[in-house]
Structure 1
Amino acid sequence: MLEAKVFDHIGKVIHYFGDGALTIFGSVIESVICAKEIQTELLKEPKVNLRIGIHSGEIVYDDEGVYGDTVNVASRIESLSKGGCVLFSSKVNDELRNHSEFRTKSLGLFELKNVRHPIEIFALQSEDIVVPSKNDFESRFNLRTESIAVLPFVNMSNEPDNEFFSDGITEEILNALSKIEELKVTSRTSSFAFKGKNFDIREIGKQLGVRNLLEGSVRKVGNRVRITAQLIDTLDGYHKWSDTFDRDIKDIFQLQDEIATTIVSTLKKSLKIQDSQKKPLVKVPTTNLEAYQLFLKANFFWNKWTPSDIKRALQLLKKSVEIDSNFAQGFSALAACYVYLGAIGQLSNQIANEEAKKYAMKALSMDDQLPDGHLSLAMANLFDWKWDESSKSFQRALELSPNNADAHHYYAYYMMAINNTRKAVIEAEKAHELDPLSLPINAFLGDMYMNAGMILDAIEQYKKTLEIDPTFRAAINGLGWAYYQSGNKDEAIKLFKKSQEIGGDEFKSIATLGYIYAKSGELDKVNDCLEKIKFQENKLTEVNYTIDYALVYLGLGNYDKVFEFLNKAFEDKLGALIFIRSRSWKEIHDDERFKTLLSKMNLPAD
């Protein structure tokens, strides 16, 4: 069967080995068609369980056969596969994009043996062959040796209020390790999900996808601090390294660097870090310990991620930089607070962006190596529709901190705004890989799948998010949208009403319900939704409901009204307009008025 089909598609079987074969083609299209036809035939009785992997690129011939990275990658993809399906690399998928007869499905990023960087793997979608899900690959998951999570260090001090200090030490060590490009470091959100919980080390390793765990404790008494730390292998639970450090608190930064450097040294062989790398992993951010402790307290509230806590963090940070006006990290954190408050509508977008840029640039003028400073500047420019400036800042942030899940997450926003849907999915998947238990990152990955038209993947991702927290409204709403997109209106409405119940507010998700009722022709219910939006607008004058109105009128098909409100959103410079190219607004994308709006936002029309 193999030889006949390969011959029909102008290919050649180069080599047989055991029960495998290496085949080459002059055309990617012919190779994929051939693979599909082979699987279609072999799935008939009596079935033959065949795996197929495809990659494209240069190959090297000699008298013994064919060699090169292309062959290696194709082989790794084949070994990853399962019987009856056709898997291929993103490079092959790029060749198929302009051929509508092929439907493909992303399975995510995979670490392949002897392949330096993760590769996105795709499956061919067809009723005639097996189409795998991501769950099919869980049993094939291998933990990278060069991977680590830093669990929250336990506060052993007599004062419970010192918890901010132990959390801060944990985060500083985590940030230091994140600077090592060769090391995959799980982000804070996922690591801190295990705070105060008694999980088996091996289970934590499996959930976070890491081979190494760092855990420890902090005891602070007066001006003295004792830190214990253990590096543990998650496969067998054995300690690779442990130590206890007693220091004066003024030496805290040197101590953080010592711990991080020791860990990297312990993993040096697998990380392939050259001995010439002597640069400290931890900089001394301030010589004023009072300013630093205020910064750590602010960080404690920042990570609670609520508007009131962010405002508390902002006040603490202002005190911190008043004490030390050269504290770059403090100014960078201030910028992040303003980005957050502007994005959620607690401040006008214009004021928030101005303050964020001011503090981010002040921080970077003191230390241009601060990833968070570049990230805050990227976000402020993103919501200000300054695309080139935003892109440069995102790239700099990722260059300085390649393991920064938030940077990948927000960079996906940028990619979505400029209509690079595929790259948005890849960045969202990278963020999820680095922070697998973050609720916002999990739900956002579902959003990106849905925006790319991968509705089944989106539904699966939203359900996984709700397994972590069944009350997370962003995932409930996302699942509702995904069900609506798949034609299940009744289930969608149930989910949006469930979102209202969980939020304890009948006005939540009201614009989305208005849109669905409008599409269904239930005009009485639509009018009720519009009245509720108007009521809220009069009650909460600081909140902007322009996009809500536009969405309801989109459902009604009243495009004049839609563009009236979208243009008002442009005048108000609403940050939400960066999502205007999403699938939700697809029906107006061909309207000339939409192209005019994009032009005013300095976005290309295609």
Structure 2
Amino acid sequence: MRQLAAILFADMTGYTALMQENEQLARAKRKRLKDVLEVLVEKHNGKTIQYYGDGSLSIFSSAIDSVTCAVDIQRELKRDLTVDLRIGIHTGDVIIEDEAIYGDGVNLASRIESLAAPGSILISEKVFDEIKNQADIQWRELGYFEMKNVKKPVRVYAIANSGIVVPDRAELQGKTRQPVNRLAVLPFVNMSADPENEYFSDGITEELLNALTKVDGLQVTSRTSAFAFKGKNVDIRDIGIQLNVDKVLEGSVRKAGNRVRITAQLINAADGYHLWSENYDRNLTDIFEVQDEISNIISNKLRENLSSSPQAAQLVKSPPARNTEAYTAYLKGLHFANKVTPNDTRKAIECFQQAVELEPNYALAYAKLAMAYSGLGASGQMLPRTAFERAHGYAGKALQLDSTVAEGHIAKGGIYLLYDWNWQLAYDALQRALQLNPGATAAYELLSLYYIQTEQKDKAVEVMEKAVKLDPLSATANQSLGKMYIFAERYDDAIKQANKILEIDPQMRASLELKAWATGMKGDWESALKLFEEIHRLTNHPLKGLMGVGYAHARLGHNENALECIRKIEQQQAENPDAVLDADLVGIWLALGDTEKAFYHISQCVEKRIAPIGLFLEYPAFKGLRNDPRLLALRDKVNAHS
């Protein structure tokens, strides 16, 4: 019989040694453990499946019941004849046959229990998701651990209720294989008198981060997750836990005139111990050598934990002419591009344009120009024909100058996927980008859309789950994973993903929209409408953010309200002819039952090349069109072109 269960492993510590020293006491403690388990497991609606020597395996239908039972067990065993017990809990599918129990969940629960300290209760992330909002259950995150016969690192939490032992992560390190080649590069602090130099310190950080990703065997946390700690006073040990790294590089930059001082230090995340630090006082003309020097020192400091042989090659690629004005313009462009708003993207384009005018062979600046234009074209903020044709030219120039620039391949992959509709070329370009930079979140996001377009939804989810593990605090990566859950019709997972992002930023419109669609698709359009109306309010514009509002009104039978949303979207289109809003109109007309108008606007999307047709066919909101022969014919036409 197969069932979903919370699996609780409990194991006495020191039993074997105690049997050799005092067999009578050991047997008395084992009997006490069994007596306590029999009473409390049944009290909390569980069932003990196996007793084995000095331990047991119990299952529960509720994760909350399993944890409260574990707390009661540990407290009870501290009374009278004390028993030192380790407990590990995980939820998963199990198979029960003839009073024997099998399944991957059983193996993982056992691994987590073996990691525990006497008197502690350790739980997996799946259990944590079930208990985290329970006011009477306290917890503390211990971070990720790599366990024997478990493919992926496991995120572990300790129950921290009164009377329960909460082990320090350092206590557990000897019990499992630890990640020894993972590094986070925190944003270098701007120590300059002028706050405008913030772009410079951020740029130095990003350049170092990109250089270190090229060190064979070293896994570097992506920029977005590392920059989540910018301006925050967070303990290095907590950063190590949240980012699943064992070393952290931090520093500061002070720029004055043509001089720059860079301070860098490498810290052991487990205990905050400083492994190395150095100051560099240089002219700006030497900035590229400084970056390369720091990168090589860091890679050599970590070399003992890496499998690769020493590298003699330069890690930081600098513009051939070493034009510091071009580099400064490029760093300003990065500063604006990372804000990910249409206005800031346009500012970034101006900066990157200035960089390539000053340094015509600046491959990375051309690649960033291509990515910026692709973003504007894909979001409908610029006519796709204009945006993607410019992106094509800049990406081609970047790759002509330097074919090892991952961003150039990402830009090409995006163009092939979202504008040219050449699926194979898109796939090849994105795979090449990931070979050059395995932590490139943007490449994973585009690759997930490729899998949706080619009707491989499970792979789309899988690729974004991998991206989120590499970049756990990235709002865009988490957002993209949520979208893939919606495509896969895993609405509860999408809502969970949206809530995770909203805990960080309660007013993030994209995450509210993700939650709204998932809520509506589950059938609760009343609640979805309230979320969509909040999204519209946050746009602070009477004509923007209305697609979801109109769709929800239509699904609720409020046809006049839905038609009013259509009128406002059409007014916005008239006022901003460079925008492409047909995709917004598709959904509302479809929800109103007018497939003629819905198909007309899909045809316009195809003509204007705003999105691949497969994304319409596969998105659950457009289910009503999946069997429309006109749409299928349009898809076949597009695929034949690709």
TM-score range, shorter chain: 0.7 to 0.9
Q: 1:361 aligns with which of 393, 396, 406?
A: 396
List alignment gaps of at least 5 residues for structure 2: 3-13, 16-44, 50-56, 60-89, 95-102, 115-120, 127-143, 156-168
Q: 1:441 aligns with which of 468, 477, 501?
A: 477
1:455 — aligned with what? 491
CA contact (8 A) 1:149 1:208 kept: yes
- Return the offset for 1:378: 0.8
Aligned partner of residue 639 in structure 2, secondary structure: coil
- Return the offset for 1:554: 1.4
CA contact (8 A) 1:451 1:583 kept: yes
- Return the offset for 1:534: 2.6
CA contact (8 A) 2:451 2:460 kept: yes
Q: 1:586 aligns with which of 590, 611, 623?
A: 623
- Return the offset for 1:546: 1.4
Does structure 1 residue 515 correspond to structure 2 residue 548? no
CA contact (8 A) 2:251 2:265 kept: yes
CA contact (8 A) 1:152 1:195 kept: yes
Q: 1:539 aligns with which of 559, 570, 575?
A: 575
- Return the offset for 1:541: 2.6
- Return the offset for 1:499: 1.0
1:387 — aligned with what? 423
1: distance between equivalents of 2:639 and 2:343?
Answer: 34
2: distance between equivalents of 1:325 and 1:604?
Answer: 35
2: distance between equivalents of 1:111 and 1:44?
Answer: 28
Does structure 1 residue 164 correspond to structure 2 residue 173? no
Q: Which whole-Å deviations, capped at 9, do the CAs of 1:524-563 have from their partners, x for residues lacking one?
A: 2222222222332333332222122211121123323222
- Return the offset for 1:592: 2.3
Letter of the 1:337 counterpart: A
1:487 — aligned with what? 523
2: distance between equivalents of 1:503 and 1:184?
Answer: 38
- Aligned pairs for 1:339-378 (under 5 A) are 339-378=374-413
Does structure 1 residue 568 correspond to structure 2 residue 600? no
Q: Say if 1:526 and 1:298 are closer, same or farther in 2 by CA, change over 3 A.
A: closer
Q: 1:280 aligns with which of 295, 306, 314?
A: 314
Q: 1:548 aligns with which of 584, 608, 612?
A: 584
Q: Say if 1:308 and 1:534 are closer, same or farther in 2 by CA, change over 3 A.
A: closer
Letter of the 1:587 counterpart: G
2: distance between equivalents of 1:310 and 1:44?
Answer: 56
Q: Which whole-Å deviations, capped at 9, do the CAs of 1:230-249 have from their partners, x for residues lacking one?
A: 11122211112212223333
Letter of the 2:413 counterpart: A
- Aligned pairs for 1:149-548 (under 5 A) are 149-275=184-310, 277-287=311-321, 288-384=323-419, 385-548=421-584
Letter of the 1:49 counterpart: S
Does structure 1 residue 79 correspond to structure 2 residue 111? yes
Letter of the 1:241 counterpart: W
2: distance between equivalents of 1:188 and 1:201?
Answer: 17
2: distance between equivalents of 1:426 and 1:449?
Answer: 10
Does structure 1 residue 601 correspond to structure 2 residue 610? no
1: distance between equivalents of 2:113 and 2:482?
Answer: 24
Letter of the 1:113 counterpart: M
Q: Which whole-Å deviations, capped at 9, do the CAs of 1:312-360 have from their partners, x for residues lacking one?
A: 2212222221222111112112111211221222321011111111111
Larger displacement relative to structure 2 (300-309 or 331-340): 300-309
Letter of the 2:192 counterpart: S
2: distance between equivalents of 1:46 and 1:319?
Answer: 70
Aligned partner of residue 58 in structure 2, secondary structure: coil
CA contact (8 A) 1:449 1:458 kept: yes
- Return the offset for 1:118: 3.8
Q: Which whole-Å deviations, capped at 9, do the CAs of 1:412-435 have from their partners, x for residues lacking one?
A: 122222221111112212222222
1: distance between equivalents of 2:485 and 2:563?
Answer: 32
2:75 — aligned with what? none
Letter of the 2:470 counterpart: L
1: distance between equivalents of 2:92 and 2:518?
Answer: 30
Letter of the 2:631 counterpart: F
2: distance between equivalents of 1:178 and 1:235?
Answer: 22
2: distance between equivalents of 1:182 and 1:236?
Answer: 23
Aligned partner of residue 244 in structure 1, secondary structure: strand
Aligned partner of residue 298 in structure 1, secondary structure: helix
Larger displacement relative to structure 2 (423-432 or 217-226): 217-226
CA contact (8 A) 1:416 1:579 kept: yes
- Return the offset for 1:513: 2.4
CA contact (8 A) 2:93 2:104 kept: no
Q: Which whole-Å deviations, capped at 9, do the CAs of 1:46-84 have from their partners, x for residues lacking one?
A: 5642679999xxxxxxxxxxxxxxx9999568625999x
2: distance between equivalents of 1:206 and 1:396?
Answer: 31
1: distance between equivalents of 2:527 and 2:384?
Answer: 35
Larger displacement relative to structure 2 (379-388 or 580-589): 580-589
CA contact (8 A) 1:178 1:404 kept: no
Letter of the 1:414 counterpart: Y
- Return the offset for 1:578: 5.5
Letter of the 2:634 counterpart: L
Letter of the 1:510 counterpart: L
2: distance between equivalents of 1:87 and 1:166?
Answer: 35
- Identity level (%): 38
2: distance between equivalents of 1:296 and 1:289?
Answer: 10
List alignment gaps of at least 5 residues for structure 1: 7-17, 20-42, 56-70, 89-109, 122-138
Q: Which whole-Å deviations, capped at 9, do the CAs of 1:482-516 have from their partners, x for residues lacking one?
A: 11122222211111111112222343342222222
Larger displacement relative to structure 2 (212-221 or 181-190): 181-190
Does structure 1 residue 557 correspond to structure 2 residue 593? yes
2: distance between equivalents of 1:271 and 1:437?
Answer: 25
Number of aligned pairs? 517
Q: Say if 1:115 and 1:370 are closer, same or farther in 2 by CA, change over 3 A.
A: farther
CA contact (8 A) 1:394 1:411 kept: yes
Letter of the 1:315 counterpart: E
1:113 — aligned with what? 147
2:25 — aligned with what? none
Aligned partner of residue 586 in structure 1, secondary structure: helix
Q: Which whole-Å deviations, capped at 9, do the CAs of 1:100-130 have from their partners, x for residues lacking one?
A: xxxxxxxxxx874367964899xxxxxxxxx
Q: Which has the larger radius of gyration?
A: 2
Aligned partner of residue 602 in structure 1, secondary structure: helix
2: distance between equivalents of 1:237 and 1:86?
Answer: 26
Alignment RMSD, CA only? Answer: 3.6
Q: Say if 1:54 and 1:193 are closer, same or farther in 2 by CA, change over 3 A.
A: closer
Q: Which whole-Å deviations, capped at 9, do the CAs of 1:538-593 have from their partners, x for residues lacking one?
A: 33332222122211121123323222221121112113646212222223223322
1:23 — aligned with what? none
1:107 — aligned with what? none
1: distance between equivalents of 2:92 and 2:507?
Answer: 40
Q: Say if 1:160 and 1:512 are closer, same or farther in 2 by CA, change over 3 A.
A: closer
Q: Which whole-Å deviations, capped at 9, do the CAs of 1:276-335 have from their partners, x for residues lacking one?
A: x33222122332222212211222222222222222221222222122211111211211
CA contact (8 A) 2:521 2:621 kept: no
1: distance between equivalents of 2:547 and 2:382?
Answer: 22
